[in-house]
Amino acid sequence: MFKIEENVRLKKTVNQAIWKKLAVFFAFQLVFSAVTMPLLVFYGPFENIKTALVGTSINTFKAQWIARMFLSDEAINRILGNTIVMEDEFENDFEPDAAKIKIPKNLSDKIEIFNIDGGDFKGKLMIVHDSTRVVTGYSSKLPKPGDPKDTVVSGEMTSSIAKRAGAIAAINAGGFMDLEWTGTGGAPTGFIISDGKVIFDQMKDENIKQDTAAFTKEGMLIVGKHSIAQLKKYGVKEAVSFGPPLIVNGKPTIKSGDGGWGIAPRTAIGQRADGAVLMLVIDGRRLGSLGATLRDLQDILLQYKAVNAVNLDGGSSSTMYFNGKVINNPSDVLGERTVPSVFMVMPDKGERK
């Protein structure tokens, strides 16, 4: 009996030793992987993976520290340098070319929705055949001139802005500064123009050129770098400031690489030669849809015959609303994120602002 008990204790001791060794081994593997994997990714030979991860990190506000922990600004610029949108090449071509867009006199009220499947990402494409129905919506809680410094400002959900305006459809539009990590959408970047009026101008200078997504009163989409003063001369009625442009007067801006912004949920807007507006939202940061690159957006919009197109705010903001509900899957765990501005589709001319 004594020998049996000794054998049992011995076996227990041996088993405990084995489990301790296994625990130490796995702990070592975890630590080793945690240390070496970033080094392999950021300094290894896998250029496509490196470019995608660096772009995703740098263009995700709360994740910029990841790339900057391992790379200098010079190294980051070098990695992304061959993949960025070639805006400089189009500096003299941003002038709107009205000949590229032929808006018919008899406009259709048709709105079409298509499912987009890129393999590792999914999304929705809305085609609005009457571009004059597209207007800018914005949060009712944005800062106004003369507001006290302690005034509470915030964005609103895309669906809320659309419902308040009586819109049939909407996508998120302009960006905002993530002050104190709150992410409320209450501090817009750039400008917002609605019904021909400048609602917000961060720069407080109408002669500064900024990335633009704008519609003239005739319904033509203008993209690229423009000042508010220029937009007024073009007869712009609705606009936000965001970018980069993806297609300018029929020419794609990304000639090589993926655009340099990595993989993320995305929103974009474009226009075909017949005036129809293309509203594109790609889901991301979830199983089944990791997100898309700027090049992916450009390729999809080219496939659907866009003549002009521009990237809008993405990430957790990417939202598409249609007929009373959100029809995509926003990446934020809480659902829709509050944003400062949207592009929305009004039901008919009589109900517009």
Are residue 183 and residue 205 in the same domain, yes or no?
Answer: yes
Q: Choose the final residue of a domain: 56, 80, 104.
A: 80
Are residue 49 and residue 95 in the same domain, yes or no?
Answer: no
Are residue 295 and residue 175 in the same domain, yes or no?
Answer: yes
The stretches in the chain having pLDDT less than 70 are 1-93, 146, 150, 152, 178-183, 349-353
Are residue 221 and residue 246 in the same domain, yes or no?
Answer: yes
Q: What is the pLDDT of residue 58?
A: 46
R_g of the chain computed on alpha carbons: 25
Are residue 159 and residue 219 in the same domain, yes or no?
Answer: yes
Q: What is the pLDDT of residue 109?
A: 93
Are residue 56 and residue 173 in the same domain, yes or no?
Answer: no
Per the structure, the complete domain to which residue 65 belongs is given by: 2-80
Say if CB 254 and CB 294 are below 8 A apart: yes
Task: Compute the distance between CA of residue 245 and CA of residue 309 in angstroms, rounded to an integer.
Answer: 6
Are residue 161 and residue 244 in the same domain, yes or no?
Answer: yes
Are residue 196 and residue 263 in the same domain, yes or no?
Answer: yes
Q: What is the pLDDT of residue 28?
A: 52
Strand partners, 141: none
Are residue 116 and residue 70 in the same domain, yes or no?
Answer: no
Are residue 99 and residue 243 in the same domain, yes or no?
Answer: yes
Q: How many domains does the chain have?
A: 2
Q: Choose the final residue of a domain: 37, 57, 80.
A: 80
Q: What is the pLDDT of residue 105?
A: 86
Q: Choose the final residue of a domain: 48, 80, 112.
A: 80
Are residue 183 and residue 272 in the same domain, yes or no?
Answer: yes
Are residue 57 and residue 181 in the same domain, yes or no?
Answer: no
